[in-house]
Amino acid sequence: MLTTTLDGLWALQVLTGIETVAPELGLRPHLPSVEPRQLALSHPVTSELRDAGVIDESGTVDNTVVEWLTVLSRRDIALFVQIRTPGDDQAARVLIARFAQWWVAVERSADLVRISGVGTASAEAPACSMLCTEIERLCGQNTPAPLRPVTLDTDMLRSMPDRQALHELLVDQRLHPDQLQVLELAADPDQSAQASIVAIQSGVTTGRSDRTHLEASPVTIIDTPAGRLVVDDIQSAGKTWTIIAPGTQSNIDAAVRRMVRRLPADQDWHSYRKVV
């Protein structure tokens, strides 16, 4: 794993000529026309990178780090994760990206950046297993909440303007008191942590210059005082339904698999290659 600062990552981009890494994390692009190599070499952060063995005396970047940055910059598929915990003003953001068969993760928390290799996979089952293991690393482990699964109309759920309206919607569903209590804990940001996961596919004709498709239905993992939940959307009878279920590892794995299969690449998400 490489741990550095925003300035350190910028210097590595300049020294490798890699312009864009993970814009979803608010990481600035490298502009070759106005940011020459000497500018990075003269920056104080370069000394820290040398001391850590990330670059040598000539400014050459370690091969493994170059490979990680290349995967991030040329990604075919990615998962964007935002993690919010009670009391935190700023969510931690993570991008887990695949280029060909290589997977790499980049994490940002305030000005700190971490980059690490996740692994390689050329088939769906190992790719999905690897992703779910990485998500578990980011979220940690927790006991599943003792909840009988709840199904809600997604459009109605997303239209709720505030927690009071959400409370009224849940009451109207005639839920069991234990179900209602757990769901209201999940909706309280002062009591529950949340990781929202969005699937991304590059190289898709979207009418926008970035040619990036964002899957409309994320997977959300919520840690409440009662335990872990997973929230996922499914399509049935022409409608979208939101299912809130205990956050067992098998439920989370299945939700992530359904989400990545909703990308335009469908069941080939693990091997899809974008056309440049």
pLDDT digits (tens, 9 = 90+) for 171-191: 888 889 999 999 999 999 999
The domain boundary, picked from 73, 95, 117, lies at 73
User: Do both 61 and 190 map to the same domain?
Assistant: no
Q: For the chain, what is the domain count?
A: 2
Which residues form the domain of 21?
1-73
144 shares its domain with 200: yes
- Tokens describing residue 143: 């006991």
- Quote the pLDDT of residue 89: 79
Q: Same domain for 146 and 183?
A: yes
Q: Give residue 85's pLDDT.
A: 95
pLDDT score of 133:
96
pLDDT at 48: 96
* Residues 248, 251: Cα–Cα separation, whole Å: 5
Q: Are residues 22 and 119 in the same domain?
A: no
Segments in the chain below pLDDT 50: none
Domain check: are 109 and 68 in the same one? Answer: no
275 and 205 belong to one structural domain: yes
Question: How many Cβ atoms from other residues are within 10 Å of residue 110's Cβ?
Answer: 10
Q: Are residues 195 and 209 in the same domain?
A: yes
Domain end residue (candidates: 22, 52, 73) = 73
pLDDT score of 205: 83
Tokens of 151: 């199904």
How many residues does this entry show for the chain?
276
The pLDDT tens digits for 51-80 are 999 999 999 999 999 999 999 999 999 999
Does residue 108 sit in the same domain as residue 161? Answer: yes
User: Residue 90's pLDDT is what?
Assistant: 85
Looking at 56, 73, 90, the residue that finishes a domain is 73
Are 127 and 118 contacting, i.e. CB atoms less than 8 angstroms apart?
A: no
Q: What's the token pair of residue 91?
A: 């969510």
| Pair (235, 273) in one structural domain | yes
Site of tokens 């469908």 = 266
d(CA 59, CA 6): 18
